[in-house]
Amino acid sequence: MDAKELIARRVAREIKPGMLVNLGIGLPSMVANFVPAERGVFFQAENGVIGLGARPPEGMEDRHLTDAGGGFVTAVPGAVSIDSAMSFGLIRGGHLDMTVLGGLQVDEEGHLANWKVPGKMVPGMGGAMDLVTGAACVIVAMQHAAKGQSKIVPRCVLPLTALRRVDLVVTDLAVLRPGPEGLSLAERAPGVSVDEILAATEARLIVPSEVPEMRVD
């Protein structure tokens, strides 16, 4: 199992039956692959689709059916397309049970920076600000480090996506839970020690006496 699959599988365990869930582009979109259909979950993309399924097999793509990042997706029975105004009405109106987003940095206060990529021209943060502000639960799914640099930092140096604290951070090394006192180490990835997590993390972590191993089955 590679790092991205490990993260997606762990996030999938947070999704309860009947939820309306937004999946961000990239790694978060993989979460749909690990949520059983019988759970009755509806995945939403802000470009106007409710009822996203997993990525289609190669050669079976429909150019009219994509997620917000332009990636090909499938539609489950009962799926519906809506216009952008209604889609953002759901997001801004607080009707999403959960959003799963990628991240560039998360800091000790649980703030997320995920839209301004250093060295790249970007048109803006898109729907990320609305999602972090409007969803009932915000989960960040990202690798713990990039190019040897920790993405769990004392304070974000990249522009924040929103002022709201996220609810959970799932990486290839750990599950972190932001709170008023800081970032708590809730779980460690299979085969990863607490010392390895601390060595890979720039931010201060609150470490309980026992840190269970994350389940990804």
Assess if residue 99 is contained within a domain: yes
Assess if residue 148 is contained within a domain: yes
Q: 213 or 76, which is more confident?
A: 213
Q: What is the CATH number of the domain that holds 20?
A: 3.40.1080.10
Residues 6+ away with beta carbon under 8 Å from 20: 41, 42, 44, 50, 90, 95, 96, 97, 98
pLDDT tens per residue across span 133-185: 999 999 999 999 998 999 999 999 999 999 999 999 999 999 999 999 999 99
Residue among 25, 32, 38 nearest 52 (CA): 32
Q: Which residues span the domain enclosing 28?
A: 3-206
Assess if residue 155 is contained within a domain: yes
Instruction: Give me the pLDDT at residue 66, please.
Output: 84
Assess if residue 51 is contained within a domain: yes
Assess if residue 215 is contained within a domain: no
pLDDT tens per residue across span 60-73: 888 888 887 788 88
Counting the structural domains of the chain, the total is: 1
pLDDT tens per residue across span 107-128: 999 999 998 877 776 767 778 9
Assess if residue 62 is contained within a domain: yes
Instruction: Give me the pLDDT at residue 5, please.
Output: 96
Assess if residue 10 is contained within a domain: yes
User: Which amino acids are annotated catalytic?
Assistant: 46
Lowest mean pLDDT among 26-30, 107-111, 208-212: 26-30
